[in-house]
Amino acid sequence: MDTGQKFLSFQLAGKDTAVIPIEYITEVFPMSLTEICGVPEMPDCLLGIYNWRSEMLWLLDLEEMLGYAPLDGLNSQLTMMTVVIRAEGKCLGLVVRKLLDIEWLNTGEMNLPDATLFRPETSPWVNGYFINDLGEMVIKLDATAIIQSPQWNSHNS
């Protein structure tokens, strides 16, 4: 039985691929790290805020949250991609280096997260994973869990 769903795919640290279901995506836009207004005393992966549609949008370094090298070590003039996700009336901007494509994946073929593949600190945000046609793992992220994370949810109201 085909239980297909559309996903936005993007690269993590230039090597791994992750996806988020398209129904959680509100907007995607390019931006420079210099456009972010830093906020002191926030978790390291919370880059700061951005003026988005005349509203304050919190921006999250998705790669750092998942245990990859932080974006703040990169040239601040580089253009990153921001994926705005919405769940339960809240929005959050996920900053990633590179978008890949919109993919149709069969959710019936999704594997459950495995403790040997994902670090315990990242497992709350991972629903599972797929194996693509090249035999590579594609990580399925949980947009609702990311937005609801207590690390930044209290600031994202």
pTM: 0.89
Number of domains in the chain: 1
What are the structure tokens assigned to 11, written together? 């690269």
* Alpha-helix runs per DSSP H in the chain: 62-65, 143-148, 150-153
Minimum mean pLDDT range among 34-43, 49-58, 119-128: 119-128
Which whole number is the average pLDDT over 58-76? 83
Strand order across the beta sheet in which 79-87 lies: 25-32, 79-87, 90-96, 55-61, 46-52
Q: Which of 35-49, 66-80, 90-104, 105-119 has the highest mean pLDDT?
A: 90-104
* Tens-place pLDDT, residues 2-22: 688 999 999 998 889 999 999
User: Domain holding 69: CATH number?
Assistant: 2.40.50.180
Lookup result for tokens 């994902």: 118
Residue ranges making up the domain that contains 52: 4-153
* Tens-place pLDDT, residues 122-137: 788 999 999 998 999 9
